Structure 1
Amino acid sequence: MTETHATITPGAPVFPAGRYGRRREPGRRRPMLPALLAVVLLATLGLLAAKLYRQYGDPRYDAQVITYTEITDSQVVVDFRVTVPAGGSATCVLRARASDGAEVGREEVTVTAQPGERRVDARHRLVTSARPFIGEVLRCRPAA
């Protein structure tokens, strides 16, 4: 014999009482927590991007190695070009590495452009602790 329920609308599913747990009440969902987490995530990513851009991505201070010469057991001469704002100065980090990749010399060098000029050609003798294989400019930033 089948059981008939007078309160169930036609077409609605019938579940045995107590078998599937408590049914949720239909109502308004609150997307507050996911929205708040999304805002916090976007703010964190924005701050991280701004920090990394200031540290590594300022295109106004661009450096290129032209050549490195006069390699001896204790030095390398690095010729490089730096693009700065007109008449500005930059502090650049120069590095020398040995053939095995080890850093054998590092120094900060400040270069200043002539008034109205945006490019500075510079030459610097970098003292090393062993024979260098290459001389390079790691980065340039505004002079302090």
Structure 2
Amino acid sequence: MTTVQLPEGRYGRSADERADHKLKIIGAVLGTALLVLVGYFAFHYVAGNKISGEVISFAASDSAVKVHLEVRKDSGVTGYCTIRSQAEDGAEVGRADFRFDQDATRVDKVLTLRTTATGTTAELLGCHAD
């Protein structure tokens, strides 16, 4: 019994080649959709944040931490920033929200965070618009 070998390329792609081509197309579409989704969330996280802050410096005592905080926000936006302090062993010794209702786009303030023990840090947890 003899088997007939058909000329290659004459009768279209094989089933494996068609499946590989479909998988490549599906992978490209899903990859593009993932990139668009990540870009969308990244843009809305950055653009939607209408108030941000930065701890410039801090000084600790036994019962309080003085925090020099710089806040940048859109004009007319009100909100608050949350600051916490931790002891040397990592335990939280103070946390408070500080409101910023000024009309200015840049607010530079020295705030006092009361603590239950000596704080060794002043950490800005985040700022949120109302």
Range of TM-score over shorter length = 0.5 to 0.7
Deviant stretches of 4+, over 6 Å: none
Residue type at the aligned position of 1:67: S
> Take 1:127 and 1:99, find their aligned partners in 2: how far apart are those partners?
16
- Looking at structure 1, the residues matched to 95 and 40 of structure 2 have their Cα atoms a distance apart, in angstroms, of 27
Matched, 1:136 2:126: no
Query: CA, structure 1 residues 39+132, in 2 after alignment: closer, same or farther (shift >3 Å)?
Result: same
Distance 1:73 1:141, change over 3 A: same
Superposed CA RMSD: 3.4
- Which protein, 1 or 2, shows the higher relative CO under an 8 Å CA cutoff with sep ≥ 6? 2
1:64 aligns with 2:54: yes
TM superposition shift of 1:39:
3.9
TM score, norm. by length of structure 2: 0.66
Following superposition, the deviation at residue 111 of structure 1 comes to 0.7
Of 7, 23, 28, the match for 2:4: 7
CA shift for structure 1 position 45: 5.8
Return the index of the structure with the highest Cα Rg: 1
- Report which of the two has the higher share of helix: 2
Structure 1 counterpart of 2:95: 106
**Where does structure 1 lack aligned partners over 5 or more consecutive residues?**
13-24
Size of the alignment, in residue pairs?
Answer: 123
In structure 2, what is the Cα distance between the partners aligned to 1:6 and 1:66? Answer: 82
Cα deviation 1:79-121 (Å, max 9, x = unaligned):
211010123223211111222333222222221233xx31012
* In 1, Cα distance between equivalents of 2:57 and 2:5: 86
